[in-house]
Amino acid sequence: MYIANCEAVSAFRGILDYMPREIRRYFFNVDLSDAYEVRLCLGQPVCIYFRDGRYFLGSKGQAVKNPLSAVRVTRKIIDEALELAVKSSLYSVKDDITNGFITVAGGHRIGISGSAVVKDGKISFIKDISALCYRIAGEVIGAADPVMDLIVKDGEIQNTLIISPPGGGKTTLLRDIARQLSYGGYRVSIVDERREIAAVCEGRSGFDLGYSADVMDGADKADGMLMMLRSMSPDVIVTDEIGTAADAAAIEKIILSGVKIITSVHAASRAQVEKRRDLKDIFGFFEAAVTLSGRGEGRIKEAVELDG
């Protein structure tokens, strides 16, 4: 049903380490090369999202369309899955859970939902966790090939904004852009707040980022970008998922300092970004924009130069 891809299968096998043995054994006969997300929701069948739609994890170890023959998620499965994820990031697990996700080795993100504990008007923790969403990180060498001529023009990096809905492949694209720029001789600073671009473990990236890429992971994007600007003498700063006025202010300072920026934003189109109050003027700083198509597709819908 799916064309095998060794890199994709390897990525998925890595995330199986964070699933309880009770359900892990059912995955080994499933072709996972085109899967990008798994969802565990208490009392519901295990869902696997492929490029061509949603399937369920069958009780005989296959991907099925009928949920009635699927493996169901129990409280024991949720608790064991969370325990496995927590052990992978003890040093920051509380902050990660407060933000609604845990990033594990390989750059995979496990989203969390449950009952929020609110203190002083802010979420301080999530308890009674009822659902986990496994977002599978994949390395696609050459993913940026179609847009590199736009991003590097006459030897000059263009300030570039990648626009994508959630799950559209923007992090995979950013990662390959950083890799190609790094191998091309540019000094690349990656600010990886959610630890997905570089997937650093014990100081080393889980992905190929070339010869001259420096990574600051776990830091607030705005603070991290300004820190890398001051400390690492970059030609370009790469970061993911801007979304606040502080991010926009940091980008303005970086560009006016003569350093290039390549980043992404969650949206389906340029028009949607322009409607956001915190980012409405952001296009004035960029020279190119790349828009990706829908969730799970990983396709470039539009790549254009901007007037600035």
Which tens digits make up the pLDDT trace of 104-125?
877 788 989 988 888 877 777 7
Which residues share a beta bridge with 132?
40, 112
- What pTM does this model have? 0.79
Q: Is the pLDDT reported for residue 52 higher than 50?
A: yes
Query: Ranked by mean pLDDT, which of 77-86, 148-157, 293-302 comes out on top?
Result: 148-157
Interval 99-103 mean pLDDT: 79
Q: Please write the tens of the pLDDT for every residue from 70-95.
A: 999 999 999 999 888 887 554 456 66
Model pLDDT, residue 147: 97
Across all residues in the chain, what is the average pLDDT? 87
Q: Are 197 and 264 in contact (CB under 8 A)?
A: no
Q: Is the pLDDT reported for residue 97 higher than 80?
A: no
Q: Is the pLDDT reported for residue 187 higher than 60?
A: yes
- Sequence spans of domains, the chain: 6-135, 145-305
Q: Is the pLDDT reported for residue 25 higher than 50?
A: yes
Q: Is the pLDDT reported for residue 137 higher than 70?
A: yes
Structure-token pair, residue 191: 């600010």
Pick the CATH number of 145-305 from 3.40.50.300, 3.40.1080.10, 3.60.20.10, 3.40.640.10: 3.40.50.300
**Distance between CA 297 and CA 173 in Å, rounded?**
12
Q: Is the pLDDT reported for residue 131 higher than 60?
A: yes
Interval 274-291 mean pLDDT: 89
Is 3.10.590 the CATH number for 6-135? Answer: no
Interval 135-155 mean pLDDT: 92
Model pLDDT, residue 168: 85
Amino acid identity of 300?
A: I
Model pLDDT, residue 175: 95
Model pLDDT, residue 140: 87
Q: Is the pLDDT reported for residue 281 higher than 90?
A: no
**Distance between CA 174 and CA 262 in Å, rounded?**
8
Over the Cα atoms of the chain, what is R_g?
A: 20
